[in-house]
Structure 1
């Protein structure tokens, strides 16, 4: 079967024609660079050409081999060679140049185990976060004791983030998650025993709350850093959308779960949390394969690795600018929450009204998280960041006019929560795509540290502001700062150019 072919319309078509022809004829072909005058020449069928350099084309038994000097690339294709297999067919984390599309995330068993295990742990953590101050207040009658325990539970968010990021980058992430889950289960069982025995010593509860919070930080850092190991790069926005929706859902469900169990019995929320943490550890232990790349060379000192993470972050202006904006907005929203509470209290409103408004904010965040992947595939990160800041400004300023209208407040808070859900998904995508595997734990820890530290400053700053003025003026001040933040972000050099995905980011 010898037939002549016309030369390709464009040199860029040559590799495609070679692959098609050689796969059809089950032969092997090697194309070398040829002079430009031979580009239009027509060659007949050839089957096998040996390794020696060939400057002229010859007619062989089976396949025609067109040549072009405009494409100085040597291509060798085997007829029956299948595409390279993925790293793990169950997880779907295959190479970027894989011929077959990755399976949907719902069929990715490793991701679903990681997602479900971390979700159970988050649900348990949200329940105990609410239960600790409630049961201590009811058991001791001391608001200060309840505040101390709540602070001990949240203190690791500030103290453990940076060293925790180093540990997650150094050691096996799956082992960290499993051991942290088992440790949290033991802590929950211990606290349940203290209440059942009638000896809820304050010092023991303070220690238990701090340990539980520290283990929770480690587990969350390890889980976030492990996601790119079980999810193909193209599916990261979808995966992180699911993670953000899971976090929002755990917050919505965990608060009534913790308070309801505490009302039924002081030991119940902690015993239930212990069971949930054990189930989470079981699910996480079934994730297969290594969740990070091998690190070679001697390990640096912990302080040196923290410093390396800080330097890495400083040399990424887009990521640094986004984190700065997040820090400012967290302060403002914590202040806004306090201002709304003060306004409701001044007009003899109920705690139910405050809870309803905050719950609507959480519901809006859940919807925003679910749609975050859609936004990330259609809008640039820069547009999402700037659009989110401008939307928050437009939603925050009207709050001053509707402080005494719970339903209007709920609508504004729900819309703000929606923007926050989309914003968080965008930030998560930015971090996992920017950070190399060896730096991913520290990158997440720095982001969490900025957010947590800012959230801690918000109520304090808003408290002083509310002492100096009324709630309406305080909200206008907060809205003005938000508008200024959006304006600065629009002209900030770091946000003018979108970030580049690092080659070593996955």
Structure 2
């Protein structure tokens, strides 16, 4: 399927390193990722400090993921209908207000599990609305030839935040539990200002009459469902997201239970980010060699083999080493699959494509921490081995999937056609 033309020709786009709009988008979200990554560590630590319950801490992760899932149902259709830049700004403002409220609650000793749940819901909801708006806007800020490295840059941005943010979050939480959330609130305020200066080329006006949101959502879901290759990538995304979300939560709880200091817990997540960041730097050449299919196969089998080692290595930094190795191939798989999805989807459906992707991912992200919390409360070793077993099942299904196996051929055909 061909792509929708943009307002500018590919030759009119400057290199990514000098593309003002892409740099503003990338830098503003790097700051947001930094704050969000600090909160990823701080949220469960705050709940554990307040309630002492691993299940309650897992419930916060579930609330965030559930909000992503619920919002993802309609997010794509809303993004395809609304002004995408206004969506980006609204999301950043809303998250800034939520975290400012949490900071006030902590400062006045009114922070409780319900309050934290509410903030997690707000963060998940607007993060899910922001993502399809950003991803649908990206092909209008860069040329098609620049899209794969631009997507890889976004992956690098996420891992850059994950590299610095968790260590910063653990360090700040160790000083005072309020500091990580102050940093997150500030990051969203600054990001809002940066997004305001992005110039998004005007979209082509559709001649189709607007319908209500639910029918528009069904159109997007129906289109995705009729694309077997895209559908297969979404199903694999659910499983991989579930395992990684559960595993990350299990590692945090186990490390905390074994007396690992908060700062070291943050460094564990930082090591995961270092692995992903290193992988992002080589994602472009790797995806050219591996393609979507082999990159997903390599990621799932490598993770399935390494996860059981978490049950036997000493608590602490070794957790981070293993997570970092698993994260190395994630940017390659992500950028190759997302580039295929974007270039295979018309502009008027890209918001719904991204919304559906985050909807599928939200299923895993919401159920993962909840399942991890329930199982780790019974037996930490069982929780780790369960994650490994599920990942090996996913690896097997990905390996034998004919739809995923055909993805590199589709990409090669598009390149030969000049699309």
Structure 2 distance, partners of 1:342, 1:129, is 13
Alignment of 1:72-471 (within 5 A): 94-96=8-10, 98=11, 102-135=13-46, 138=49, 140=50, 143=53, 151-200=62-111, 206-265=117-176, 267-290=178-201, 292-337=203-248, 350=260, 356-396=267-307, 402-404=312-314, 410-461=320-371, 471=381
* C-alpha displacement of 1:395: 3.5
Q: Mean Cα displacement is larger for which, 434-443 or 331-340?
A: 331-340
* Counterpart for residue 497 of structure 1: 406
Structure 1 distance, partners of 2:62, 2:387, is 25
Q: In structure 2, do the counterparts of structure 1 residues 467 and 105 end up closer, same or farther at CA, with 3 Å as the change threshold?
A: closer
Structure 1 distance, partners of 2:15, 2:146, is 9
Deviations along 1:15-74, whole A, 9 cap, x unmatched?
xxxxxxxxxxxxxxxxxxxxxxxxxxxxxxxxxxxxxxxxxxxxxxxxxxxxxxxxxxxx
Structure 2 distance, partners of 1:408, 1:132, is 23
Aligned pairs, number: 407
Structure 1 distance, partners of 2:328, 2:207, is 43
CA contact (8 A) 1:434 1:500 kept: no
Q: In structure 2, do the counterparts of structure 1 residues 299 and 104 end up closer, same or farther at CA, with 3 Å as the change threshold?
A: same
* C-alpha displacement of 1:460: 4.9
TM-score with structure 1 length normalisation? 0.69
Structure 1 distance, partners of 2:181, 2:232, is 40
Deviations along 1:59-110, whole A, 9 cap, x unmatched?
xxxxxxxxxxxxxxxxxxxxxxxxxxx978xxxxx425x4x8x532111111
Please state which structure has a larger fraction of its residues in helix. 2
Q: Give the root-mean-square deviation of aligned CA atoms.
A: 3.6
Structure 2 distance, partners of 1:158, 1:468, is 27
Is 1:488 matched up with 2:402? no
Structure 2 distance, partners of 1:198, 1:465, is 31
Give the match's secondary structure for 1:295: coil
Give the match's secondary structure for 1:233: coil
Q: In structure 2, do the counterparts of structure 1 residues 461 and 398 end up closer, same or farther at CA, with 3 Å as the change threshold?
A: same
Q: Which has the larger radius of gyration?
A: 1
* C-alpha displacement of 1:302: 1.4
CA contact (8 A) 1:118 1:220 kept: no
Segments of structure 2 that go 5 or more residues without pairing to the other structure are none
Segments of structure 1 that go 5 or more residues without pairing to the other structure are 1-85, 89-93
CA contact (8 A) 2:260 2:315 kept: no
CA contact (8 A) 2:137 2:200 kept: no
* C-alpha displacement of 1:411: 3.8
Q: In structure 2, do the counterparts of structure 1 residues 392 and 265 end up closer, same or farther at CA, with 3 Å as the change threshold?
A: closer
Q: Mean Cα displacement is larger for which, 414-423 or 372-381?
A: 372-381
